[in-house]
Amino acid sequence: MGTVLTNNHYLFTSESVGEGHPDKLCDQISDAILDRCLELDPKAHVACETYSTTNLILVGGEIGFQDPNPELPKIIAKEAEQIARKVALDIGYDSAEKGLDGAHCEFINRLHAQSPDINQGVVGKGLDEFEGQQGAGDQGIMFGFACDETPELMPATLHYAHQLLLKATELRKNGTIAWLRPDAKSQVTIEYDGFKPVRIDAVVVSHQHDPDVEYDTIRSTIIEQIIKPVLEPTGLLDENTKYYINPTGKFVTGGPDGDAGLTGRKIIVDTYGGMGRHGGGAFSGKDPSKVDRSAAYMARYIAKNVVAAGLAKRAEVQLAYAIGVPYPVSIMVETFGTETVDRKKIETAVEKVFDCTPAGIVKTLDLKRPVYRPTASYGHFGRDGFSWEKTDKVEELKAAAL
């Protein structure tokens, strides 16, 4: 039965996937290899892709070290395998029965050097008019989003979906629910009144498990030990909230054995759960010269500061770039009618306060550090510890916009 809604009420749903989801396994391997490259050379240019299926992990893509030390490519060629295996084992993939044996599965390395045509535009050796300036690593459009639905200034649907799987991972790894296996997905559907969450309409959790666990045990345990502890404090659960737990009745075969994994396939999970627009570029495995990643972080940083400054309740920022060009070709700020000052004033303030050049983004957010593997599961946004989540431009924005 569907929920009958009236006036300005509607349902919105976001999904999350756990760190053991095959695509997230691949994202984490790609970002772990990126982190190691940045440890060896903070100026390294990396586009690392990972693929996994039954009994196989394959890494490929391009790595260009700017440091001329000839040993660096040899080091990463040697270490890529141990990095990939460690990530799989850290997640919990330690046997074929769980979906992958990280210690003993086949491993294939197809990493190679970066194209010199791309490199010359990034390092300022492209067209004469841009000589000496860091250009964007590719063309593209990037979006950032923030809203006041949660203290993290993230959409409630996505934030709660992530929190469910973080809780499940905690209980799996500390042995509280020992029969859980690494692969997992969640969805949270919220009823909104305009832009305000008013109740949780449905919760979906599909979690891989050992074969000898009864369905009733799985359902009751996930509801009582994962869903309710996470969602009851929100005050949004009610007697009509629907729970869909492992809706097929069985989820034993999972991980790369159940479904092949690939870097970059969970871009909506990684960002705003569909609540904000997405430019289409994936993040994991890419160094910060790739504006697919760095400019998306900058756009989130801008949007979050706009909302934190009280200039709007919702903000979406678009940045656009051309490969090799050392500045954005456009900047847009959308506030969905929630602005407290004229939107054009906000846009002008953003352009004044934030340096959105590729080089400026890297400097502002300090992105040439090995900080990327933690971003690769449970969302790149809305979590503490990342430079793009700071709200340190609030006062500058207010002064520029008011």
C-alpha 286/C-alpha 45 separation (Å) is: 8
Active-site hit among 85, 209, 290, 304: 290
CA R_g for the chain: 22
Query: Which one of 31, 152, 257, 292 is the catalytic residue?
Result: 292
pLDDT of residue 134: 82
User: Which pLDDT score, from 0 to 100, does residue 328 have?
Assistant: 95
Range with lowest mean pLDDT among 129-133, 217-221, 352-356: 129-133
Q: Is 259 a catalytic residue?
A: yes
Can you tell me the distance from the alpha carbon of 368 to that of 387, in angstroms, rounded to the nearest whole number?
12
**The pLDDT of residue 120 is above 90:** no
Place of tokens 């990342």: 386
Q: Specify whether 368 is catalytic.
A: no
* Contact by Cβ (8 Å): 329, 321: yes
Q: Which of 185, 209, 304, 393 is catalytic?
A: 185
What pLDDT sits at residue 5?
Answer: 73
The Cα 210–Cα 392 span in angstroms is 46
Q: What is the pLDDT of residues 256-307, one digit of tens each?
A: 999 999 999 999 999 999 999 999 999 999 999 999 999 999 999 999 999 9
- Above 80 in pLDDT, residue 208? yes
Out of 118-122, 241-245, 397-401, which region has the weakest mean confidence (pLDDT)?
A: 118-122
Please state the φ and ψ torsions of residue 185, each to the nearest 5 degrees: -145, 155
- Rounded to the nearest angstrom, the gap between the alpha carbon of residue 7 and the centroid of all alpha carbons in its chain is 34
Cα 383 to Cα 151: distance, rounded to the nearest angstrom: 11
Beta bridge mates, 107: 57
Catalytic site residue 62? yes
CA-to-CA distance for 120 and 105, rounded, in angstroms?
Answer: 38
pLDDT above 70 for 4: no
Residues 12, 15, 19, 21: which is the catalytic one?
21
User: In the chain, how many H helices and how many E strands?
Assistant: 12, 13
Catalytic residue among 49, 183, 287, 347: 49
Catalytic residue among 96, 202, 260, 320: 260
Residue 2 pLDDT > 90, yes or no? no
Report residue 287 CA to chain centroid gap: 14
Is residue 115's pLDDT more than 80? no
Calculate the average pLDDT of the chain.
94
Whether 348 has a pLDDT exceeding 70, the answer reads yes
List, for residues 218-240, the tens digit of each pLDDT value. 999 999 999 999 999 999 999 99
Whether 232 is a known active-site residue: answer no
Percent of the chain beyond pLDDT 70?
A: 94
Among 62, 90, 94, 396, which one carries the catalytic annotation?
A: 62
- The answer to whether residue 7 scores a pLDDT higher than 90 is no
Q: What is the DSSP string of 359-394?
A: HHHHHHHT-SSS--GGGGSS-SSS-TT-GGG--TTH
**Which residues pair with residue 141 across a beta bridge?**
320
Amino acid of residue 13: T
CB atoms within 10 A of CB 253: 15
Whether the predicted pLDDT of 117 surpasses 70: no
C-alpha 169/C-alpha 189 separation (Å) is 21
pLDDT of residue 113: 85
Q: How much is the pLDDT for 123?
A: 56
- Token pair in block for residue 123: 């390092």
Q: 12, 65, 145, 251: which is the annotated catalytic residue?
A: 251
Q: With cut-offs at 50, 70 and 90, classify the pLDDT of residue 119.
A: low
Q: Is the pLDDT of residue 18 over 70?
A: yes
Packed helices 343-353 and 394-401: angle between N→C axes, nearest 10 degrees: 130
Instruction: Look up 266 and say whether it is catalytic.
Output: yes
